[in-house]
Structure 1
Amino acid sequence: MAKKNQEDPLAGLEKAYAQWQWLFENGGSDPTWPDGVNLNLMRNHIIYFKGQIEETCPLYMADALYLRELPPEVDQNYMANPDKIREQARRSLQAYQADPNYQYLLRHRDSLTPKQSKELCVGAVLGYAASLRDSIARDDLVEMRRHREPERYLESFQDCADKVRQALESSDPNLFDMAAEEENDTPDMGMTM
């Protein structure tokens, strides 16, 4: 059985150098690891492709790409554009806290039974903002980077708020809540005796 054609090591080397450079300048989107971890992984890819050239295509060893200097090893915790990540995280948190659906969930989370709250994932959805607030306080750039595009989380707030509205509209009215609403809706006439 014939082996599948593997990637040309020179093309792989060119791609690995380009990815390393892009990641170093722009940062990645890995939700778990800092850019430094991925940069060092890309560096290992470069070493691998250079080794492949030495073993299988020694004529490529004269190519300028092969002769290009190996990128440096970087600190595992390196993050590209940390100030930009921090600023975007602050803006995302402000957007979450100002969102009417987020505000609705905060106001109505205690109106649900524990079972409803769990089924509708209210705690998890509200946890997005709490987690981001905590990440900002700890300066956790990897966690903050997850919130670069707040629209995804804002959609979760809306989806969850819609489900909570449906659950509250379809559930039996809570007599204590009704009494409290009546008390708040009744104008204060003052007590006369």
Structure 2
Amino acid sequence: MAKRQRNRKEQLAEVIRESHEQWKRLRENGGNDPFWTDGVNLNLVRNHIIYGRRLCEEELQEGDYPEEYYLPLPEKVPPNYMVKGDEIRRKTSELMRNIKENPDYIGLFGKSEKSQKEVEIIKYISGYSQSISEDDLVAMRRFIHWDFSGMMQSIKEELRDITPVAEIEKSLPEGQLSIFDLFNI
């Protein structure tokens, strides 16, 4: 049986309904956008709803608008709004405290020579520390998902793999040496 082709009214109804659902999810749970605040994304989805309504007005007769057209338009939110700001701050502070108490992190500063990855980790942590002091919730939200202990473990394994194993040298006999003694022949 052939699939029934949806008419334009059904298509627009779906666009508006999905945008409303997305807006509700963002408003309740916040987003995961690594660069933009929840407020910016909520207003973007709100604009999608407005656009869907405008398409209804342009393409359909007024009495033929879908039910979704009449759903209340979500409010506009401030662009810097973040849904779970206090939770993000709490988790980030807790994570930063755990990292700064971590012996691997403390050990990085005792080393005179650091690998490139160790330097990068120090820079990341410094940047995230700065995001906390500046209350940059978007950067802090990225930090919450950062796997510090996994990165430290991979660095340890990498350094262990490249560190040469010292060969135990046979001590030379005392007294007169021959050329054979020098080359372990």
TM-score range, shorter chain: 0.7 to 0.9
Contact map agreement 1:20 1:43 (CA 8 A) in 2: yes
How far apart are the structure 1 equivalents of 2:108 and 2:64?
61
One-letter amino acid of the counterpart of residue 133, structure 2: A
Matched, 1:61 2:65: yes
Post-superposition CA distance 1:106-157 (Å, at most 9, x none): 333x234xxxx33xx222122222222111111111111112234x232122
Cα gap change, 1:10/1:48 in structure 2, threshold over 3 Å: closer, same or farther? Answer: same
Q: Aligned match of 2:164 in 167, 170, 185?
A: 170
Whichever structure has more helix as a proportion of its residues is 1
Match in the other structure for 1:146? 142
Deviation at 1:171, TM superposition (A): 9.0
Q: Which runs of 5+ in 1 are unaligned?
A: 173-193
With normalisation by structure 1, the TM-score equals 0.71
Deviation at 1:62, TM superposition (A): 5.1
Q: Which runs of 5+ in 2 are unaligned?
A: 1-5, 167-185
Question: What RMSD over aligned residues (CA atoms) do the two structures have, in Å?
Answer: 2.5
Name the SS for the 1:147 alignment partner: helix
Match in the other structure for 1:158? 153
Q: Which has the larger radius of gyration?
A: 2
Contact map agreement 1:128 1:153 (CA 8 A) in 2: no
What are the equivalent positions in structure 2 for 1:66-81 lying under 5 Å apart? 66-81=69-84
With normalisation by structure 2, the TM-score equals 0.74
One-letter amino acid of the counterpart of residue 111, structure 1: E
Bigger mean CA offset, 50-59 vs 30-39:
50-59
How far apart are the structure 2 equivalents of 1:35 and 1:93?
23
Post-superposition CA distance 1:34-54 (Å, at most 9, x none): 111111111111111112222
